[in-house]
Amino acid sequence: MNNYSFYDQLQTLEPKKDEFSKEERLKAMEKPLLSWYKNHARVLPWRENPEPYRVWISEIMLQQTRVEAVKPYFERFMAALPDTAALAAVPEDRLFKLWEGLGYYNRARNLKKAAGVVMEQYGGVIPASWEDLKTLPGIGSYTAGAIASIAYGIPVPAVDGNVLRVISRVTGSREDILKQSVKKQMEELLLGVMPKEGAGSYNQALIEIGAIVCVPNGEPLCGECPMASVCVARRDGLTKEIPVKTPKKSRKIEEKTILILEWEGRTAIRKRDSSGLLASLYELPGVEGWLEDETLAQMYRVPLAAVRRLPEAKHIFSHVEWRMRGFAVELQEKPAGDYLWVTPEEIRETYSLPSAFKAYTMMIR
């Protein structure tokens, strides 16, 4: 038996095939969708008190990251940086430590930049205007729409990947959802039909239905969907074909050797360049390509007490895949180089090392 209320099942029936326009189709699904959301919305920490700052932080964290993974990060971040002023003032290294494990560190950099703009130009108050929000660093049309609608109740759309998929299936659209022009069309379509009251719930309902019913991977749960009666993809058996997305380009493979350099109970880390991948973050030393054991002594020109080969690991970025070989190297003398020698405790508590190195940082004791 389906676990949803009688009211979720009160759906509009289309009189004849394709008699509804896209706008009529979306209006017909509104009430069943909102009823479903009222009964099935997940309990999430940022929904309990949807103030602008909390909505903003949660939406940035949720980009490229699963909801369950975000929950503890959100709670920790809010405890440490409870408002825009605190975020604007936080030292970058502290910010990165709070962000450690979430990845895509430019998101954190842009949060701090945007907080500075809010403090300087808006007196510390996050603007309500969709257009003003889009001028802040790191805030695009989706995040701006989420903040404006959820925190301020302004009837503007918040179109993310979930919404693109849901609306494409409901309307039977075969447009490529990875094109910005298609996203813009979707925003304009929703802007014309979304309710003037309860815009935040409407946007969250679309996102939620895409996350747990009209799912991105595997078969959508059409039998549990409050919009099934007006969904073109369900009616015509097109849920495997819609949405349409251009195939991703294959990732570039990069081979690297990662080193845990140990000297007098401390481990070497260093700061990466200020531009490029993982800019300005701390890392374990490493070199391009795969080294062999005998090469290490030549590299550091100091006596080695011990060399231990570590398991191979890999890390996948959006366009690059690192395939890593690791060594733990115990040094008898301090080598030359721009290294910071830190204790395991300092790595855990103070310095942020990206998750790309997690397979090796976990071995530091």
DSSP one-letter string for 251-271:
PEEEEEEEEEEEETTEEEEEE
Q: Is residue 246 included in any domain, yes or no?
A: no
- Assess whether 219 and 256 both reside in one domain: no
- Assess whether 28 and 99 both reside in one domain: yes
**pLDDT at 15 (0 to 100):** 61
In sequence order, what DSSP letters do the residues of 51-111 get, joined into one string?
-HHHHHHHHHHHTTS-HHHHHHHHHHHHHH--SHHHHHHS-HHHHHHHHTTS--THHHHHH
- Domain stops at, among 204, 235, 266: 235
- Assess whether 299 and 219 both reside in one domain: no
Q: Is residue 119 included in any domain, yes or no?
A: yes
- Assess whether 59 and 159 both reside in one domain: yes
- Assess whether 114 and 178 both reside in one domain: yes
Q: What is the DSSP letter of 151?
A: I
**pLDDT at 85 (0 to 100):** 98
**pLDDT at 268 (0 to 100):** 95
Residue 354 three-state SS: coil
Domain hosting residue 103, numbered range = 6-235
279: CATH: 3.90.79.10
| Residue-by-residue pLDDT tens, the chain, 365 positions | 344 444 445 555 656 666 788 999 999 999 999 999 999 999 999 998 999 999 999 999 999 889 999 999 999 999 999 999 999 999 999 999 999 989 889 999 999 999 999 999 999 999 999 999 999 999 999 999 999 999 999 999 999 999 999 999 999 999 999 999 999 999 999 999 999 999 999 999 999 999 999 998 889 999 999 999 999 999 999 999 999 998 888 889 999 999 999 999 999 999 998 888 888 899 999 989 988 776 776 776 667 778 889 999 999 988 899 999 999 989 888 888 889 999 999 998 899 899 999 999 999 97
- Residue 365: Cβ-neighbour burial (10 angstroms; 0-12, 13-18, 19+): exposed
- Assess whether 262 and 231 both reside in one domain: no
Kindly list the catalytic residues: 59
**pLDDT at 104 (0 to 100):** 87
- Assess whether 66 and 176 both reside in one domain: yes
- Domain stops at, among 170, 200, 235: 235
- pTM to 2 decimal places: 0.86
- Domain stops at, among 187, 205, 235: 235
- Assess whether 309 and 226 both reside in one domain: no
- Assess whether 208 and 307 both reside in one domain: no
152: CATH: 1.10.340.30
Helix (H) or strand (E) holding 298: helix 293-300
- Assess whether 13 and 143 both reside in one domain: yes
Q: Is residue 1 included in any domain, yes or no?
A: no
- Assess whether 200 and 111 both reside in one domain: yes
**pLDDT at 243 (0 to 100):** 95
- Structural domains in the chain (count): 2
For 306, other C-beta atoms within 10 Å of its C-beta total 10
